[in-house]
Amino acid sequence: MKKIYLLATAFSFATLTGCSDFLDQDLKSNVPGAEYYETTAGFESLANAAYSSLRTIYGGDPWLFEGGTDLFASGRNSVNPSALYGSAFTSANDAVTTFYTDHYKAISLANEVIYWGGSDESRALRVAEARGLRALYYLNLVQQFGGVPLIKERTATPISEASRASTIDTYNYIIGELSSLAASSALPNQATDGRFNKRAANHYLAKAYLSKGYISNNDDDFRAALSAAQAAGAGQALTTPFATLFSNAGEGNEEILFYVEYDAKTVDKNTDGNKQQAHFCAYLDGQEKGHKYTSSTLTPTLRMHELFNTNTNNASQDERYEGTFMTELRQSYWHYYDEDKKNTSPVTYYYCPSWELANIDTWRSEYPSRANAQVVEMTAEGTNINNIVTSYYSKMREDVYGVASFRKFDDIGNGKEIFSTTSSMKDIYLARLGETNLIAAEACIKLKDQPGALSYIKIVRDRAKATTATQSEMTIDYILNERARELAGEYHRWADLARTGKLAEYVEAYNPDEINAGQITKKFYLRPIPLSAIELNSALQDDQNEGWE
């Protein structure tokens, strides 16, 4: 019988690359585990390696997190999961298999840390951190697959059979772990070095309760979600401008509760960065043009732009639009970030949203550098880079420089200097107070507390200098729209739509990747358990998700 290997050995993880001093792992494959990990240095090395899994999961391609949603669709380069809702999407899909496998490798490594930490008080902090990481990994898995096998302990021998827990039991396990960590004296309240902490535990606890509530239909879960969000910091004012928060200077901000840390000083800056900067953009031509590297895979839909068009009198008031999109492409992409060149470097293309079309003459008159810019209209039908009227879909799929680039994740340091998909050394934000407030608002809506929801929404929109929301607008649809404006590209969207039951409605209406009405049936709200996992784990052979058998 084939066996499912859930044990991560020291040698298996020797190739994981650290991104800062505390993440660097000095694994010595010629030293027995017991001899090495019982030493202080060896255990710290193992604990540091556990964080490397975050870079594997979040630093690469975000297909299952963001693909096949209302916000992102195929660019010039189609990707495998873009057709997530057709007959070609099966349990053998590479993206699904990679996601599942990477998470179980990460869980196995966390279990190693917990095992070697034991009851040693001097190792209690690292054990608590590993438990937090493991809970996060299971939260990702349950949101994508429903109930999954819960591997709670390190095993010294291969496991040939591991049954799935129910979805509710999986959530209960995650909630139990995070509740314990939120009350633990081992964890600090907040960490500035990328490590798991109490506020992160409360943030993910809130998210776990919120997600569970949609399944249990129990208001107690939504009340618990609200309480945990408040413990994480919901209700606290957001004072850092949105664009600043996502600039290089924003790293280390107290609004960021948990993140994946990158540091060009301690890794190979040519190969060991993340891909976040490269995704979500149209193709921008080669390195000789002075632009950033873009994968042109997941490209913002017209829906993504129009979600900011919420006030016809002054739609551009929401600062998050300019903080998210590069609306003016200059002679060099990076001139935008150079104060000496921002207003003098000729603007080649102006990606004009629908609400600014009437103001183009005013826009041109502000700076001579804008005089000859070609206007590319971010509308259903409008001018492209050649001043020919085409569809937005055509621009995003066929044109070089077709639509506005996603600048939210730009790294103006290493990402500017090195033309590569993996050149970004910007930290990846995983949990931040902007989302914590939105989790609280969503819990309030589920509890029919519209005034409470509005209070949390107001905090998020006040920071963006956005128009004031009203109590009558407090619906799940409004929350999803606000989450899009605040959190686009941050690895939440597919789970958001699946959790709220809006996946079919939103994707069929707004994703242009040839998705027909009625195509997204109930089965697509969970991914299929990977075929390779079923082949290796006999307990899964008759336990595939409904519709994927």
CATH number of 52's domain: 1.25.40.390
What residues contact 365, with CB distance under 8 A and at least 6 apart?
none
Residues 512 and 387 in one domain: no
Residues 20 and 135 in one domain: yes
380 and 508 both lie in a single domain: no
User: What distance in Å separates the CA atoms of residue 547 and residue 543, rounded to the nearest whole number?
Assistant: 11
Q: Are 16 and 167 in contact (CB under 8 A)?
A: no
Q: How many folded domains does the chain comprise?
A: 2
Cα separation of the two ends of the chain? 21
Per-residue confidence (pLDDT) for residue 18, from 0 to 100: 35
- 153 and 4 fall within a common domain: yes
User: Which candidate, 548, 282, 527, 547, places its Cα nearest to that of 393?
Assistant: 282
Of 385, 408, 431, the one marking the end of a domain is 408
The reply to whether 401 and 512 lie within a common domain is: no
Amino acid 10: pLDDT: 35
Looking at the fold, whether 397 and 508 belong to one and the same domain comes out as: no
Whether residue 549 sits in one domain with residue 403: no
Give the pLDDT score at 347: 98
| DSSP class per residue in 486-538 | HHTTSS-HHHHHHHHT-HHHHHHHH-TTT--TT-S-GGGGSPPPPHHHHHH-G
8 in the same domain as 124: yes
Whether residue 472 lies inside any domain: the answer is: no
Q: Residue 136 has what pLDDT?
A: 98
Q: What is the pLDDT of residue 183?
A: 97
Q: Which residues of the chain have pLDDT under 50?
A: 1-32
Please identify, among 368, 389, 408, the residue that sits at the C-terminal boundary of a domain.
408
pLDDT tens across 414-442, in order?
A: 999 999 999 999 999 999 999 999 999 99
- Give the pLDDT of residue 200: 98
- Tell me, yes or no, whether 479 lies in a domain: no
Q: Report pLDDT for 11.
A: 31
The tally of CA atoms less than 13 A away on the side-chain side of residue 388 is 7
Last residue of a domain, one of 393, 408, 423: 408
Task: Note down the domain range covering 301.
Answer: 278-408
DSSP string for 467-485: PPP-GGG-SHHHHHHHHHH
Q: Domain check: are 296 and 151 in the same one?
A: no
In this structure, is residue 423 part of a structural domain?
no
Residue 485 lies in a domain: no
Claim to verify: residue 13 and residue 150 sit in the same structural domain: yes
Whether residue 437 lies inside any domain: the answer is no
Average predicted confidence (pLDDT) for the chain: 91
1 and 138 assigned to the same domain: yes
Q: Rounded distance, CA 176 to CA 101, Å?
A: 24
Residue 427 included in any domain: no
Are residue 153 and residue 289 in the same domain, yes or no?
Answer: no
Residue 413 in domain: no
pLDDT of amino acid 81: 57
Is residue 203 in a domain? no
